[in-house]
Amino acid sequence: MRHLYLFSGLAGLQGPPLPALRALYARPENARYFTTAAEAITDVLDHVGAEAYRRELPGGIPLTAWLRGTPPAAGALEHSIVDGLLAHLYQLCLLQPPLRRAAGERPEPVAAIGHSLGLIGATVAGTVTTDRRRYTAMCRDVIAMTTLTLIRCHQLAPPHGGPATPMAAVMGVPTEELRALVAGSRVHLALANSGSSHVLAGDPGDLDALRREHARRLAEPAVRWVYLRSTAPFHTPLLEQAVRAALEDRHFLTFRLTGEELAVPVYVADSPVNLQHRGDLLPDVLAHAVCRPLDWPRTVRAALEDCRPDQIVDFGPGPSARVFTRETLRGSRTGLRYRSVPAPTA
C-alpha cells in the first residue's frame, strides 16, 4: 500500500497535545529525544534574550517541567508559540526511527504533505532518516529553528485584545467571492482550506472592520465567521520580515536541508510543487509554513496526481488537516483510505 503522510499545523480548537506528549515523555526510549528538544528550546531562548518573548510568555517555555506534570501558566497553551511548538514536538517524536524492527511497524511513506506549520514535520518525514541518533540530532536543529521562527513572528505581530484576533475562519463563502471581499482592504486571504472553508488574517482591527462592512453577507444562514485563537497573522506578508530574521540565525541548523536530502516527495502548492526539485529548503519551508498564503486543495491534488497514494496516514495533532483533505476530495473517486496515528495515552 502506498502511504501519504499528513501533518496538521497548529493544534486547533482541541488545544496542544500536552497529555499525549506527557505519555510519550514517560517512555524510556524517548528520553534522548525530549532532552534534546528541551536543550534546543533553551538555546534559542538564551540566544534571543528574555525581552524577545517575555511579553508573550512571561513564564518562558519550561518544557521539561510541563512534561513532568507542572501546569503551564494561565494562557500559555492558548498562545501560538506554545501551540505550534508542542504540535511540532509531538509529530517529530512520532516520526522517530524504531529502536527495533518488528512486524507491522510503521510503513514508510511515498510522499508527505503538511498543513501550515505541519509542513516542517512533513519535511522531516521526507528525509526518511533511519538512524535514531542522527534523527535526534536533526530534530535539535529543526526544533531550534521552529522555536526561533515562532518567537520572531510574535515580535512583529500586531497587538490585540478583546474578541477580535489576528485570524478568523470563514465558512460557507466560495474562494473567489471571499477574495473579492477582501480586495482593497488590509485583510489577507491567508488559508484556503477547501472550496468553502478559509481563514482571513491581518491586524485584528482590520478584521473587525471587514466583518462589520460585510455584516449582512457574513450573517447569512450558511455562513460562519469564527475568530481563531491564533496570536499572530500567519500566512500573510506581515510575517515575511520574521522569516528573514529567523534565517539570519540559521547557524542553529547544522544539518543540510536541501531538496537532495529528501528521500520522498514533499509537496507544496507553488511550482515546483515537489520540494525535491528545489535547492536550499529552509527559506522555502519557513515561508510556506509561516508567511505565504496556503492553498490546501492545490497541495493535496499535487500530491495525489504525482504519487497516487492508497492511504493517508494522519499524524495530527487533531483532525483538522484530515478534515480539510476530505472536504477537498469530496465527490472525487480517489478510493483513498484514511488512518490516524493513535494519540499516546498514559
Same domain, 148 and 101: yes
Indicate the pTM of the whole model: 0.96
Q: Are 268 and 288 in contact (CB under 8 A)?
A: yes
Q: Which pLDDT does position 103 carry in this prediction?
A: 41
Q: Which pLDDT does position 271 carry in this prediction?
A: 87
Same domain, 211 and 291: no
* Residue 156 Cα distances to 153, 294, 308, angstroms: 6, 20, 40
Same domain, 327 and 207: no
Q: Check residue 291 and report its DSSP letter.
A: T
With respect to residue 241, please indicate whether it lies within any of the assigned structural domains: yes
Q: What are the backbone dihedrals phi and psi of residue 113, each rounded to the nearest 5 degrees, phi first?
A: -135, 150
- d(Cα 86, Cα 17) in Å, to the nearest integer? 7
Amino acid identity, position 21: L
With respect to residue 346, please indicate whether it lies within any of the assigned structural domains: no
Note down pLDDT in tens along the chain; length 346 residues: 899 999 999 876 778 999 999 999 999 999 999 999 999 999 999 999 999 999 999 999 999 999 999 999 999 999 999 999 999 999 999 999 987 555 446 788 999 999 999 999 999 999 988 899 999 999 999 999 999 999 999 998 877 777 899 999 999 999 999 999 999 999 999 999 999 999 999 999 999 999 999 999 999 999 999 999 999 999 999 999 999 999 999 988 888 889 999 999 999 998 889 999 999 999 999 999 999 999 999 999 999 999 999 999 999 999 999 999 999 998 887 789 999 999 898 7
Q: What are the backbone dihedrals phi and psi of residue 179, each rounded to the nearest 5 degrees, phi first?
A: -60, -40
Looking at 180, 195, 227, the residue that finishes a domain is 227
- d(Cα 122, Cα 124) in Å, to the nearest integer? 5
With respect to residue 250, please indicate whether it lies within any of the assigned structural domains: yes
Same domain, 140 and 92: yes
Q: Which pLDDT does position 149 carry in this prediction?
A: 98
Residue the block writes with cell 488512518: 339
CATH code of the domain in which 216 resides: 3.30.70.250
CATH code of the domain in which 24 resides: 3.40.366.10
137: exposed, middle or buried (Cβ count in 10 Å: 0-12, 13-18, 19+)? middle
Enumerate residues 6+ apart whose C-beta is below 8 A from 224: 169, 170, 171, 172
Looking at 184, 201, 227, the residue that finishes a domain is 227
- d(Cα 242, Cα 334) in Å, to the nearest integer? 39
Looking at 184, 205, 227, the residue that finishes a domain is 227
Same domain, 183 and 116: no
Q: Which pLDDT does position 251 carry in this prediction?
A: 87
Residue the block writes with cell 541548523: 253
Using alpha carbons only, give the angle 319, 115, 18 rounded to the nearest 5 degrees.
55
Same domain, 127 and 177: no
With respect to residue 345, please indicate whether it lies within any of the assigned structural domains: no
Same domain, 182 and 258: no
DSSP, collapsed to helix, strand or coil, labels residue 167 as strand
**Domain total of the chain:** 2
Amino acid identity, position 298: R
In the beta sheet, which residues pair with residue 112? 5, 266
With respect to residue 162, please indicate whether it lies within any of the assigned structural domains: no
DSSP, collapsed to helix, strand or coil, labels residue 253 as coil
With respect to residue 59, please indicate whether it lies within any of the assigned structural domains: yes
Same domain, 204 and 330: no
Same domain, 135 and 258: yes
- d(Cα 27, Cα 173) in Å, to the nearest integer? 46
Using alpha carbons only, give the angle 221, 222, 227 rounded to the nearest 5 degrees.
95
Same domain, 182 and 325: no
Residue span of the structural domain in which 133 resides: 3-157+237-340
Q: How many C-beta neighbours within 10 Å does residue 217 have?
A: 14
Same domain, 36 and 140: yes
Same domain, 66 and 137: yes
Q: Are 147 and 43 in contact (CB under 8 A)?
A: no
